[in-house]
Amino acid sequence: MTATTLPAAGDAAHGHGHHYTTLGLDNRKIAIWTFIGSECMLFASLISTYLVYKGRSIKGPFPHEPWTDPVSGKAFPAILDIPVTSASTFVLLMSSFAMVLALAAVQNKNLPKVTLGEKILGSSKLWLWMTCLMGTAFLGFQAFEFTAFIREGLSIRTNLFGSSFFTLTGFHGAHVAVGVCWLFSLLAIDYKRGLQPSDATNVDIAALYWHFVDVIWIVIFTLVYLIK
Amino acid sequence: MAIESAAAAGHAAHVDGHEHPGWSTYWKIAVILFVITAVEVSAFYIPAWETSWVYVPSMLTLSTIKFVLVVMYYMHLKYDHKLFRSLFTGPLIVAALTLIGLMFLFSKLSIRLGLLS
Amino acid sequence: MATLVAAPPYTSTATESANTGLWSWLTTVDHKRIGVLYLITALVFFVIGGLEAFLIRAQLAVPNGQVLSADMYNQLFTMHGTTMVFLAIMPLSAAFFNFLIPLQIGARDVAFPRLNAFSYWVYLLGGIFITVPIFFSVAPDGGWFGYAPLSTKQFSPQINMDFWVLGLQILGISSLAAAFNFITTIINMRAPGMHLMRMPIFTWMSFVVQFLVALAFPVITIALVFLQFDRFFGTNFYAIGAGADPLLWQHLFWVFGHPEVYILILPAFGLVSEVLPTFSRKPLFGYPVMVYSGILIGFLGFGVWAHHMFSVGMGPIADAVFSLTTMLIAIPTGVKIFNWLATMWDGQLRFTVAMKFGVALVGMFTIGGISGVMHSSPPADLQQTDTYFIVAHFHYVLFGGSMFGLFAGLYYYFPKITGRFMSESLGNWHFWLSLIGMNLTFFPMHFSGLLGMPRRTYQYDAGQGIEVFNMLSTIGTLVLMLGTLFGLINLWKSWKSGERASSNPWGAPTIEWTIPSPPPEHNFDELPKITSRYPLWDLKGTVIAKETTYAEEAGRVQLSAKQLGIPMPNPSIMPLITAAGVIFMFSGMLFTDSNMKLAVGIMIAGAVWWIAGLYNWLLTPLEDAH
């Protein structure tokens, strides 16, 4: 026997267009899920550090208890603002709702729309705008929160709580900011040439990223803000 | 990175072929998310709840429910290919175990082993 | 044998134009070319890391050595470790991931070819970023593990550790991007019939490694972010005075660091699992067990990290748990050793250089593994930790294990990569000098370590009974360098004028050996249909593919992708431009202390640069419209 070769896959390899995939899934979607899995470890490290350092700061201000500076005699209230953060949490949760409707609108672009409800639900621009605006609003809340803390005397350098709090929530905020830029880019494409059902995967991976950032906030909100 | 094979997308728009739920499911999930968040925040302001031992477990349970709802319905893990489920839950389990391990190592958690402790 | 039909024409490739200019290398998105770039770059860094090691050994040859200053010594051992781990062994593995994974699973390229090029350019530029300072005596000097608070501004006020913090951050981007790419490739680009349990074992081990990278690197990223913030913005993560825990860095680092150990060794295990069956002319013994033990090693690898920290006093429960998990991980590793032995048992062994390196891995790794089991016991570890015994242990694992495995893979796959054999005679010099030199260098360290010689110390006094062991280690280093020199000469000469190789010069069983050497741009004219684990060996009929010769394939013609109408990705300069922007942005951070405005300016310019590159890249289709 001399050189050997294998039988060609023939038709089996041509069933899905010219780019054969083993599972018939889109590569981009597998990659984004892998990325999200990796991000789980990123946020697990950040959250672990926050929890490990909880209650270890040797001076205030503290998240849930008031504190009086023994040197200057200045009094600091408990620094976390639960009502404001509850509002921003609500906004972020609803942005996920808008995002899922945006994806559905892109997927169903070609379905006929008769009633007003169908027209509203079928507008990818509307729901992308809603998501972007709510994401931006969340960032606005965060900017408000951060500047308020700094005014009250808690910066990233003040104590362990400041360092771990600003880094954890800042990392999350940076993820939201990236998501907002991503969604605005999709919106720009939608205005330029209209997002079609063939773009659904591109919207889908942005949506997965967006929802993931949302679930991370669900965890952060409970662990950092609500549990003392 | 994400739009690497943009050319290929035109051929197979929705190859996974699993039906995603629609508006009728999505708004219900949104309502549940809203209600749970409202319950969580009010619990924070109810001293009888907030100071009892039930508080932390109930908060963790409620936020886990929210987490699972978003992941299953909005991220479509309930409907999509099971591969995606394992790509997410595998790392999530490693992350959770690492977090719990670190909590033990830094004495934030402890187990009572009878006379040993 | 019905599935094996006569070969199509092979050896001479008909290409329209010579795609060999510098520009073609800068813009390439071909996984095989990127693999070659990884190989050459990593070997250059391997030589640099080796020379650093030689200077360390020169200093330690005699008591109270005067070759280096203490400061330079610190820089050298830090850079030796950093270079070998991040710039030599990982990228050498990456060279094989790139070259082999698409060939072994029957794909035409990776899932994201441009992202693949981006990974390489980030690695190259990041490697230069972290290596250049040594030539100006400002290299990182806090150890490859960078223990905080030692590495914080308080104790390392100079710019040295900034290079390390930023350099590792940059290299992490490269590894993570590659991990997402290869996971997607292996999951979704397998040829029809290539079920998971038919995948070649190298691809399997690579698959496990990519998950380890994807899950371990985010942890070091965060630990480095904390350090970066502490150094540049005055945060308190590692500031003991503010109540910080001195063990936080150690825990985070080793949560990353232990999976990293398996990131370094599993690809070599995979390569040896390809080499041993071919040269034993027997299928790999216990293939499923090899796969499962690889997965188990990967999973357990996340649960053993604190065994690097027994001496910090974590308490009896933590010590016991991590000691047990560490001993547990020895089981799947031992299973692999026995499976390799059983593969060779009763086989028709052919001792080529590749086979010799492969067999040497089995022996040398076992020595390193057994000393590893010794310090999985906390009481024993307290005696051994931070001594040369540990140095001996991990060099047996990393040199005798990883490097020998990678050399085995290099000799084995060189004909596939270049179409030429490596010289067996020069290769024998390479192998025997490396084997002798390695044992001469590292075996005496067991003794000097148990006699109490601490690691990272730059001088020692005479009269402690460790002089002879240190002298032996230094002599061993010279032998090792000579051996490596033979290897490099061999590589150089063989690349230019080695004996021509055929498509399947070893009679190997897997599908990368069905295509020409070197493979055409599109790898496979038609995607193969896979019906068994060893497609070229018919195991039921015990017919095993014979090696082919160059002469019998000479004169055959291989059509190009264009002639066959196979769409291939276009070359793109954007990955390089984007990567350069990322490095530029990070380098801005170096100036935060001296000139804040300049630092912010460079970072903003770098960010604009790479974001512009990224948008250009994403909005350009990968292939021509068709």
pLDDT recorded at residue C540: 65
pLDDT recorded at residue C16: 41
- Cβ neighbours of B106 in C, within 8 Å: 245, 247, 251
* Candidate list C11, C156, C174, C448, residue with the active-site label: C174
Closest CA in chain B for residue A45: B99
Interface chains of chain A (3 or more CB pairs under 8 Å): B, C
pLDDT > 80? residue C538? no
* Candidate list C121, C204, C238, C262, residue with the active-site label: C262
Query: What is the number of structural domains in chain B?
Result: 2
Name the residue ranges covered by the structural domains of chain A: 23-59+82-226
pLDDT recorded at residue A176: 97
CA torsion sign for C337, C342, C343, C347 is positive
ipTM for this prediction: 0.93
Which residues fall within 8 angstroms of residue A1, CB to CB, at 6 or more apart?
C1, C4, C543, C545, C546
Judge: B75–A212 Cβ closer than 8 Å, yes or no. yes
If asked whether residues B71 and B29 sit together in one domain, one would say yes
Contact A160, A57 (CB under 8 A): yes
pLDDT > 90? residue A52? yes
pLDDT > 50? residue C283? yes
Q: Which CATH architecture has domain A23-59+82-226?
A: Up-down Bundle (1.20)
Q: Length of chain B, please?
A: 117
Which residue is it, tokens 């109490």?
Answer: C452
C208 membership: H or E segment, kind and range: helix C201-233
Taking the Cβ of residue A137 and every Cβ of chain C, the question of whether any pair is shorter than 8 Å is answered with no
- Minimal Cα–Cα distance from C245 to chain A, Å? 8
pLDDT recorded at residue C10: 43
* Candidate list C336, C416, C430, C500, residue with the active-site label: C336
Contact C38, C91 (CB under 8 A): yes
Q: Is residue B47 part of a domain?
A: yes
If asked whether residues B85 and B68 sit together in one domain, one would say no
Judge: C567–A20 Cβ closer than 8 Å, yes or no. no
- Minimal Cα–Cα distance from A4 to chain B, Å? 32
Distance CA B101, CA A41 (A): 13
Give per-residue pLDDT as tens, C167-206. 999 999 999 999 999 999 999 999 999 999 999 999 999 9
If asked whether residues B75 and B42 sit together in one domain, one would say yes
C557 membership: H or E segment, kind and range: strand C557-558
Interface chains of chain B (3 or more CB pairs under 8 Å): A, C
User: Which pLDDT band holds residue A228 (cuts at 50, 70, 90)?
Assistant: confident
Burial status of residue C19 (CB atoms within 10 A of its CB: 0-12, 13-18, 19 or more): middle
pLDDT recorded at residue A10: 54
pLDDT > 70? residue C11? no
pLDDT recorded at residue C223: 97
Could you read off the pLDDT tens digit of each residue along chain B, which spans 117 residues?
Answer: 333 333 333 333 444 445 778 888 999 999 999 999 999 999 999 999 988 889 999 999 999 999 999 999 999 999 999 999 999 999 999 999 999 999 999 988 776 655 544
Give per-residue pLDDT as tens, C577-586. 999 999 999 9
pLDDT recorded at residue A102: 95
Could you tell me which of C204, C212, C178, C225 has the C-alpha nearest to residue C273? C204
pLDDT recorded at residue B9: 37
pLDDT recorded at residue A18: 56
* Candidate list C52, C109, C141, C162, residue with the active-site label: C109
Name the residue ranges covered by the structural domains of chain C: 31-220, 572-626
- Minimal Cα–Cα distance from C528 to chain B, Å? 21
Judge: A26–B37 Cβ closer than 8 Å, yes or no. no
| Chain C residues 145-174 within an 8 A CB cutoff of chain B | none
pLDDT recorded at residue A14: 44
Distance CA A145, CA C423 (A): 67
pLDDT > 90? residue C572? yes
User: Of B11-25, C427-441, C517-531, where does mean pLDDT reach its minimum?
Assistant: B11-25
Give per-residue pLDDT as tens, A115-159. 888 888 889 999 999 999 999 999 999 999 999 999 999 999 999
Give per-residue pLDDT as tens, C99-158. 999 999 999 999 999 999 999 999 999 999 999 999 999 999 999 999 999 999 999 999
pLDDT recorded at residue C91: 97
pLDDT recorded at residue C621: 87
* Candidate list C41, C78, C131, C273, residue with the active-site label: C273
| Chain C residues 292-321 within an 8 A CB cutoff of chain B | 299, 302-303, 306, 314, 317-318
- Minimal Cα–Cα distance from B74 to chain A, Å? 6
Quick check: is C93 catalytic?
Answer: no
Quick check: is C307 catalytic?
Answer: yes
Residue of B40, B74, B79, B85 best to disrupt the A interface, most CBs of A under 10 A: B74
Taking the Cβ of residue C243 and every Cβ of chain B, the question of whether any pair is shorter than 8 Å is answered with no
pLDDT > 70? residue C625? no
Q: Is residue B48 part of a domain?
A: yes
Could you tell me which of C56, C144, C141 has the C-alpha nearest to residue C470? C56
CA distances for B54 relative to B46, B49, C452, angstroms: 12, 7, 54
Could you tell me which of C183, C118, C208 has the C-alpha nearest to residue B4? C118
Distance of CA C231 to the CA centre of its chain: 30
Question: What integer is the mean pLDDT of C213-222?
Answer: 97
Distance CA C473, CA C467 (A): 10
Judge: C251–B4 Cβ closer than 8 Å, yes or no. no
- Minimal Cα–Cα distance from A115 to chain C, Å? 36
Domain that holds residue B102: 81-111
pLDDT recorded at residue C384: 94
pLDDT recorded at residue A118: 87
| Chain C residues 49-88 within an 8 A CB cutoff of chain A | none
pLDDT recorded at residue B113: 58
If asked whether residues B71 and B85 sit together in one domain, one would say no
Closest CA in chain A for residue C231: A157
User: Of C132-141, C391-400, C413-422, C555-564, where does mean pLDDT reach its minimum?
Assistant: C555-564
Residues of chain C with pLDDT > 90: what percent? 85
| Chain A residues 20-49 within an 8 A CB cutoff of chain B | 21, 23-34, 36-38, 40-41, 43-45, 47-48
Residue of C217, C251, C256, C310 best to disrupt the B interface, most CBs of B under 10 A: C251
- Cβ neighbours of C216 in A, within 8 Å: 41
pLDDT recorded at residue B109: 79
C31-220 is a CATH 1.20.210.10 domain: yes
User: Which pLDDT band holds residue C35 (cuts at 50, 70, 90)?
Assistant: very high
User: Which pLDDT band holds residue C549 (cuts at 50, 70, 90)?
Assistant: confident
Quick check: is C262 catalytic?
Answer: yes
pLDDT > 50? residue C372? yes
Distance CA C16, CA C388 (A): 57
Distance CA C85, CA C79 (A): 10
Quick check: is C175 catalytic?
Answer: yes
User: Which pLDDT band holds residue C542 (cuts at 50, 70, 90)?
Assistant: low
If asked whether residues B75 and B85 sit together in one domain, one would say no
Q: Is residue B106 part of a domain?
A: yes
The conformation of residue A26, written as its DSSP 8-state character, comes to -
Closest CA in chain A for residue C247: A52
The conformation of residue C156, written as its DSSP 8-state character, comes to -
Which tokens hold the place of A34?
């892998």
Taking the Cβ of residue A1 and every Cβ of chain C, the question of whether any pair is shorter than 8 Å is answered with yes
If asked whether residues B52 and B98 sit together in one domain, one would say no
Taking the Cβ of residue A162 and every Cβ of chain C, the question of whether any pair is shorter than 8 Å is answered with yes
- Cβ neighbours of B4 in C, within 8 Å: 111-115, 618, 622
* Candidate list C455, C495, C525, C560, residue with the active-site label: C455
Judge: B94–C187 Cβ closer than 8 Å, yes or no. no
pLDDT recorded at residue C554: 80
If asked whether residues B73 and B26 sit together in one domain, one would say yes
The average confidence (pLDDT) of chain C is 92
pLDDT recorded at residue C436: 97
